[in-house]
Amino acid sequence: MPFIAGGGAPLRSWQPEGVTLELPPATDLRTLLTLDAMSPDVFLAPSGFTGWGRLYGGQVIAQALMAAARTVDPAQHPHSLHAYYVRQGEEPAPVVYEVQRIRDGRSFSTRQVVASQANGAILNLIASFHAPEPSEERDSSTLPADAPQPEQLADDEGPLFFQSRAVRDEFDMATLAWMRTLRNSGDDFGDDPIFNACALAYLSDEHLLGAALTGHSLLGDWDKLMTASLDHALWFHRPVRVSEWHCFVLEGQGMADARGLSIAKIFDRSGLHVATATQEALVRLRR
């Protein structure tokens, strides 16, 4: 299929006319996060293959963050991202990421990234990077004392490149989930701050949409509901090593105007609050 701009996509003249951009589907997270540079600010990335026909949202967020990081001083690490899902991505087609260098500073740098496929833009992300610096630390969020440990829970089955072990409510929605990258796929990124941040971004999209539906009167009656993720934000408070278990404590924050909000506080195994994710979801009756 020719990779032709359309629907508002910002694809530029670096793409030769009539050329099809192809990559084999990624078979592990490291491959998924390894981007090919088409130019200093344009990257091509493979997709995973889930059999869903659509891209997993965490893939596009993680790859967009990696594209942004490829244009930033390595001394600066991701501290936050904010993304809007523009349209559904199609698998297993690769994705093009175009980076705009908004600002380079001594402490902070900002990047905007547009992800596109043949039908146009599928994601718009802005990310901020910060050079680590010493400061006072304090926490007001702690891992619940009664949280079960991952060894007490069973693996969720799924085609994505991570393990998830969740506590679920009566509608099978996760209220707490332990997650880590797959240990048999070479996806231990050591202490690499960029790969670990991108891997956490990949994990962070898994359970938030379900939490956003909390309290809906038709929850569980899936034939009557249409849902979709609208936007996603993630803040990195402390360094992470995503090959180790991290606990996502999920809460719905209410619903109005056909939109529900959810939040996940993310803790490492010691109970330290390392990141926070939020997502807004569209929840409407099927037409």
Q: Is position 62 within any domain?
A: yes
pLDDT, average across residues 39-67: 96
Total domain count, the chain? 2
| Residue 267, domain CATH | 3.10.129.10
Give the number of other CB atoms < 10 A from CB of residue 80: 16
Nearest to 78 by CA among 191, 201, 188, 194: 194
Q: How far apart are CA 38 and CA 96, in angstroms?
A: 9
Q: Is position 6 within any domain?
A: no
The pTM for the full model equals: 0.91
Domain shared by 170 and 249, yes or no? yes
Domain shared by 155 and 274, yes or no? yes
Quick check: 14 pLDDT over 90? no
Side-by-side strand order, sheet with 162-168: 36-39, 42-45, 95-104, 108-117, 120-130, 77-85, 225-236, 273-285, 259-268, 246-256, 174-181, 162-168
Q: Is position 135 within any domain?
A: no
Please tell me which residue, 17 or 47, carries the higher pLDDT value. Answer: 47
Quick check: 132 pLDDT over 80? yes
Q: Provide the domain limits for residue 202.
A: 151-285
Q: Is position 178 within any domain?
A: yes
Nearest to 285 by CA among 214, 227, 224: 224
Domain shared by 162 and 88, yes or no? no
Q: How far apart are CA 191 and CA 207, in angstroms?
A: 25
Q: Is position 101 within any domain?
A: yes
Q: Is position 84 within any domain?
A: yes
| Residue range 201-241, pLDDT digits in tens | 999 999 999 998 887 877 777 787 888 999 999 999 999 99
Do residues 199 and 69 touch, judged by C-beta distance below 8 A? no
3-state secondary structure of 67: helix
φ and ψ at 200, to 5 degrees?
-65, -40
Tokens standing for residue 190: 């050591």
What confidence score (pLDDT) does residue 285 get? 86
Model confidence at 12, pLDDT cuts 50, 70, 90, reads very low
Domain shared by 104 and 42, yes or no? yes
